[in-house]
Chain A
Amino acid sequence: MIDLTVFVVLVVLGYVAGSLFEKRHFRSLEKREAAQLSQPIVTLEDVSYPEDQIESARLVSGSAVISVDYFKRLLASLRNIFGGKVKSYESLLDRARREALLRMKESAPDAMAIVNVRIETASIGRRANKKGVGCVEAMAYGTALTFRK
């Protein structure tokens, strides 16, 4: 009985707090993305800028570790029985990647462009007795170019 109560409390807490945090995070992501829109990021290696105008090039990176809430983990494990699209993990990875990209951009406010951007995802903190995603880390890195004025 106590076990069941704890379980229900965890699910409800996960659902309420989790969706609140997620909504807040998406709002902040949208706001910050709009503010950073003028700084282009590309996955190309060469953007054919005239070389004599480029002042410096340096490596920049940004990362974020995001965890999924209890309720969504439950949904995903149910999904594992029937198969199909796991929406709760889609939003998790979306959040992690966008946050990592934004942090990378924010770490180079003077850059005119960030080229050769790569995104890497790693699942960390997985426990041996529980399978599934504990939390994911997304990391974005690229070369920030600054131009001569």
Chain B
Amino acid sequence: MIVTNIETIPGKRIVEHFGMVSGNTIRAKHIGRDIMASLKNIVGGELKGYTNLLQESRRQATSRMIKQAEELGANAVVNVRFSTSSIAQGAAELYVYGTAVRVETGGAAT
């Protein structure tokens, strides 16, 4: 599965479009991380726990999107965008969307 956030895949020709695919996940932080974060809020700096949490969640959203694309018979997702929204206190939604396409593998550039 090739994933890019440009409209094409360089060196490969898109032969079929399948429309939009997306994946989302909503994560809440757990209490241990929250306590650490509130301590870190006093001195400032990076909150590693949150960084990891968000990266992990984004990976999950991306894999859901890829799974959806695979079910459609696509072998690539182009023009991928990420978006984050905080819907409730202490929880964030991570959303990723793109266009599922099928590319000619090993095809010469047109």
Q: Do A and B interact?
A: yes
Residue of A nearest to B80 (CB): A59
Interface size class of A (residues with CB under 8 A): 35 or more
- Complex formed: what's the CA distance from A76 to B43 in Å? 15
- Whether A120 touches B4, Cβ cut-off 8 Å, given contacts A99-B46, A125-B37, A134-B41, is no
Per the 8 Å Cβ criterion, residues 35-73 of B in contact with A are: 37, 40-48, 50-51, 54-55, 58
Whether the pair A137, B10 counts as a contact (CB closer than 8 A) is no
Total B residues in contact with A, Cβ cutoff 8 Å: 37
Cα A46 to Cα B9 in complex, Å, equals 11
The answer to whether B50 touches A65 (Cβ under 8 A) is yes
Q: Does A122 contact B (CB under 8 A)?
A: yes
Interface SS majority for chain B: mixed
The docked-state distance in angstroms from the alpha carbon of A149 to that of B5 is 24
Find A58's partner among B4, B11, B47, B48 (CB 8 Å cutoff): B4
Question: Inside 8 A of A137's CB, which chain B residues have their CB?
Answer: 50-51, 54, 84
Encode contact with A along B81-110: 1 for CB under 8 Å, 0 otherwise.
111111001101000000000000000110
Taking Cβ atoms with an 8 Å cutoff, the residues of B that contact A are 2-7, 9-11, 29, 37, 40-48, 50-51, 54-55, 58, 80-86, 89-90, 92, 108-109
